[in-house]
């Protein structure tokens, strides 16, 4: 009999130990202008109020369902870690010099977005990978960034992610001071309604396969002095320009559905003197004259290269675009 | 003219909002300084649409003041390019003997600007200016041409080749027509339609 109240008290204490800690963590974990110097795991709600850097020796792992919000800090204000404008963005960034593993699931995507009550593009800077390898972004949603996923001489796999309302969804280039060469695999992503879709330059060499690029205001894909790039099995539609190229010697652009882009399906910019290898795409029509109407190449400017689009598909490419449904996005 | 200014204001606002969104690290921004004369406002819209469409470079328009202020903005590195006229340029150089032959004056001015300021004169656009608010050339009108710093041409190596394609294609009548078009559809669309009609974009 005497032991009963004792067990009850112990039970209450154990219950409180279980219940209280989660209650204490109800608010987001807040980072203000910080360095992450050791391996770290993020889960739950994270609020970033300044530049956060994952240093060379550290790995940041982000768990499924984590929501990372970036406060809209003053441009180049005191919350910034760096003032170098060639490599950084005006507002808060997650700078990765070590590694980032952000692997959500179809049901529990990882969300990177603005903390502002009236969010807009460029509220925050980027997931900014600098001279970094072994990075992974899978089942993540990115919105209201300047350039959501950004690489300077870094290597990353970006798969099954959803990009919307960013200035640019993905941007990358090589920088001479770093040894790492910029290589990226960009697969199964939905890249819609951004200013620009995928921008790569200065020798960067991505594989862009099985993505949906739709409604991006300026361009879907823009290659600028880029390295060899493989662009296949994408749906590229209703963008400003579908594919834009400047001084890029080698692109393989095949088996894509490319149609109804406002200012040309393919535009060779001034300085794109190389031909572009682009057979077996579906251009939304079987009429060659109609295909040419939405192409800007040597036919329009004698100094430009030529879009080599023969033979072209006579029906939409099966299996192009995202081959499976990502929950919550349709 | 008020409609032109309003239309341009909206265009500048659009470019101003969009510029930070799309410049990124791979994309670049080129700053064009323009004065308040009607021809400069229209040429600002044409050049910004043209350069953006054919190079992917975002063009930001800035309004430092008169032509002299635009010249200073480029010299100080605050802008990359502006539009000048042969006669004001002759005065900037302080040439002792007045040259009335436009071709010879162009050679003198372009050489003088390169030597003294490291600025490159591109091909004259075709019209004489600056224009007054009634779209007539001022009493001291002379050929207009874009002027770019050598440093800018190093950063944007196809810019001169591109802009020179506009050379001689915009005369006073064309400007007058463009001013009329802006009333109906806004400056940016008028500029875009004009460039499309010339098959330049």
* Window from A219-233, A250-264, B135-149 with minimum mean pLDDT: B135-149
For residue A11, pLDDT over 80 is answered with no
**Which residue in this structure is represented by tokens 């795991």?**
A41
Pairing of strands B119-121, A67-70: unpaired
Q: Which pLDDT band, with edges at 50, 70 and 90, does B12 fall under?
A: very low
Which residue, among B157, B28, B44, B151, has the nearest Cα to A303 in the 3D structure? B157
- Higher pLDDT pick, A292 / B137: A292
Mean pLDDT of A90-94: 97
Long-range contacts of B188-194 (CB under 8 A, 24+ apart): B188/B7, B188/B10, B188/B11, B188/B14, B188/B45, B188/B49, B190/B7, B190/B45, B191/B42, B191/B45, B191/B46, B191/B48, B191/B49, B191/B50, B192/B49, B192/B53, B194/B46
Q: Which pLDDT band, with edges at 50, 70 and 90, does B15 fall under?
A: very low
For residue B24, pLDDT over 70 is answered with no
- How close, in Å, is residue B14 to chain A by CA atoms? 12
CB contact under 8 A, A167 and B21: yes
Q: Which pLDDT band, with edges at 50, 70 and 90, does B19 fall under?
A: very low
Q: Which pLDDT band, with edges at 50, 70 and 90, does A57 fall under?
A: very high
A287 in B contact zone (CB under 8 Å): no
How far is it, in rounded angstroms, from Cα B131 to Cα A158? 53
CB contact under 8 A, A122 and B199: no
User: Around Cβ A225, how many Cβ atoms within 10 Å?
Assistant: 18
Number of domains composing chain B: 1
Residue A323: the pLDDT is: 81
Contacts of B178 (CB under 8 A, 6+ apart): B42, B46, B190, B191, B194
For residue B1, pLDDT over 90 is answered with no
| Domain encompassing residue B127 | 2-197
For residue B3, pLDDT over 60 is answered with no
Residue B129: the pLDDT is: 85
Whole-model pTM: value is 0.86
Peptide bond before A141: cis, by omega within 30 degrees of 0? no
Pairing of strands A295-296, B29-33: unpaired
Q: Which pLDDT band, with edges at 50, 70 and 90, does B130 fall under?
A: confident
DSSP string for residues in B39-74: HHHHHHHHHHHHHHHHH--EEEEE--SSHHHHHHHH
Residue B10: the pLDDT is: 39
A74 in B contact zone (CB under 8 Å): no
Residue B76: the pLDDT is: 97
Mean of the per-residue pLDDT values for chain A?
93
3-state secondary structure of B17: helix
ipTM above 0.85, yes or no: no
Identify the helix (H) or strand (E) that includes residue B113. helix B102-117
How far is it, in rounded angstroms, from Cα A291 to Cα A294? 6
- Across the interface, of A147, A202, A263, the residue whose CB is closest to B53 is A263
* Window from A115-129, A164-178, B26-40 with minimum mean pLDDT: B26-40
* Window from A11-20, A30-39, A143-152 with minimum mean pLDDT: A11-20
Q: Which pLDDT band, with edges at 50, 70 and 90, does B176 fall under?
A: confident
Mean pLDDT of B6-28: 46
Q: Which pLDDT band, with edges at 50, 70 and 90, does A210 fall under?
A: very high
CB contact under 8 A, B22 and A224: no
Nearest CA in chain A to B196: A263
Which residue, among A70, A67, A20, has the nearest Cα to A43 in the 3D structure? A67
For residue B184, pLDDT over 80 is answered with no
- How close, in Å, is residue B135 to chain A by CA atoms? 32
A299 in B contact zone (CB under 8 Å): no
Residue B135: the pLDDT is: 65
CB contact under 8 A, B22 and A168: yes
Nearest CA in chain A to B159: A270
For residue B197, pLDDT over 50 is answered with yes
| Per-residue model confidence as pLDDT tens digits over A32-45 | 999 999 999 999 99
For residue A194, pLDDT over 80 is answered with yes
A288 in B contact zone (CB under 8 Å): no
Residue A7: the pLDDT is: 64
| Per-residue model confidence as pLDDT tens digits over A256-306 | 999 999 999 999 999 999 999 999 999 999 999 999 999 999 999 999 999
CA distances for A17 relative to A45, A282, B22, angstroms = 22, 62, 50
Burial A305-316 (b: 16+ CB within 10 A, else e): bebebeebbeee
CATH number at residue B15: 3.40.190.10
User: Around Cβ A91, how many Cβ atoms within 10 Å?
Assistant: 26
Mean pLDDT of B125-139: 78
For residue A26, the number of C-alpha atoms closer than 13 Å in the C-beta half-sphere is 4
Nearest CA in chain A to B25: A86
CB contact under 8 A, B20 and A90: yes
Mean pLDDT of A160-165: 97
Residue B140: the pLDDT is: 73
3-state secondary structure of B186: coil
Q: Which pLDDT band, with edges at 50, 70 and 90, does B35 fall under?
A: very high
CB contact under 8 A, B21 and A146: yes
Which residue, among A317, A254, A251, has the nearest Cα to A284 in the 3D structure? A317
| Per-residue model confidence as pLDDT tens digits over B65-81 | 999 999 999 999 999 99
Residue B178: the pLDDT is: 87
Nearest CA in chain B to A221: B56
How far is it, in rounded angstroms, from Cα B152 to Cα B47? 15
The three state secondary structure string of A40-52 is EEECCEEEECCCE
């Amino acid at each position: 009999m005497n032991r009963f109240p004792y067990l009850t008290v112990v039970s209450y204490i154990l219950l409180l130990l279980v219940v209280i800690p989660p209650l204490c963590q109800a608010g987001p974990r807040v980072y203000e202008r910080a360095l992450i110097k050791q391996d770290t795991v993020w889960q739950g709600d994270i609020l970033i109020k300044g530049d956060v850097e994952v240093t060379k020796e550290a790995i940041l792992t982000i768990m499924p369902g984590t929501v990372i919000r970036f406060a809209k800090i003053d441009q180049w204000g005191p919350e910034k870690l760096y003032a170098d404008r060639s490599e950084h963005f005006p507002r808060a960034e997650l700078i990765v010099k070590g590694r980032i593993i952000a692997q959500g699931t179809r049901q529990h995507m990882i969300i990177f977005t603005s903390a502002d009550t009236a969010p807009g593009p460029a509220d925050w800077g980027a997931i900014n990978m600098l001279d970094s390898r072994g990075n992974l972004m899978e089942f993540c949603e990115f919105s209201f960034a300047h350039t959501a996923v950004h690489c300077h001489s870094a290597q990353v796999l970006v798969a099954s992610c959803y990009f919307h309302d960013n200035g640019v969804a993905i941007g990358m280039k090589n920088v001479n001071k770093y040894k790492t060469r910029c290589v990226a695999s960009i697969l199964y992503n939905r890249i819609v309604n951004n200013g620009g879709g995928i921008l790569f330059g200065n020798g960067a060499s991505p594989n862009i396969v099985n993505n949906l690029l739709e409604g991006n205001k300026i361009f879907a894909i823009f290659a600028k002095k880029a390295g060899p790039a493989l662009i296949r099995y994408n749906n590229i539609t209703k963008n400003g320009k579908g594919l834009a190229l400047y001084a890029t010697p080698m692109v393989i652009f095949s088996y894509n559905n490319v149609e109804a882009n406002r200012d040309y399906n393919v535009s060779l910019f001034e300085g794109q003197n190389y031909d572009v290898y682009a057979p077996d795409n579906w251009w939304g029509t079987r009429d060659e004259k109609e295909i040419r109407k939405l192409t800007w190449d040597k036919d329009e400017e004698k100094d430009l290269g030529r879009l080599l689009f023969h033979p072209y598909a006579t029906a939409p490419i099966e299996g192009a675009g995202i081959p499976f449904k990502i929950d919550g996005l349709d | 003219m008020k409609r032109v200014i309003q239309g341009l204001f909206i265009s500048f606002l659009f470019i101003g909002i969009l510029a930070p969104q799309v410049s990124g690290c791979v994309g670049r921004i080129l700053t064009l300084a323009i004065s308040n004369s009607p021809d400069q406002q229209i040429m600002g819209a044409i050049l910004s649409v043209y350069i953006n469409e054919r190079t992917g470079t975002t063009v930001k328009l800035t309004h430092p003041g008169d032509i002299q202020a635009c010249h200073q903005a480029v010299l100080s590195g605050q802008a990359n390019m502006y539009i000048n006229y042969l006669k004001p340029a002759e005065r900037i150089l302080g040439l002792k003997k007045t040259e009335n032959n436009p071709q010879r004056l162009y050679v003198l001015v372009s050489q003088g600007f390169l030597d003294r300021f490291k600025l490159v004169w591109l091909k004259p656009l075709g019209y004489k200016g600056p224009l007054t608010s009634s779209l007539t050339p001022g009493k001291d009108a002379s050929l207009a041409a874009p002027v770019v710093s050598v440093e800018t041409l190093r950063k944007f190596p196809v810019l001169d080749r591109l802009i020179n394609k506009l050379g001689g294609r915009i005369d006073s009548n064309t400007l007058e027509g463009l001013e009329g078009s802006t009333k109906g559809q806004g400056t940016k669309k008028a500029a875009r339609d004009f460039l499309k009609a010339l098959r330049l974009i």
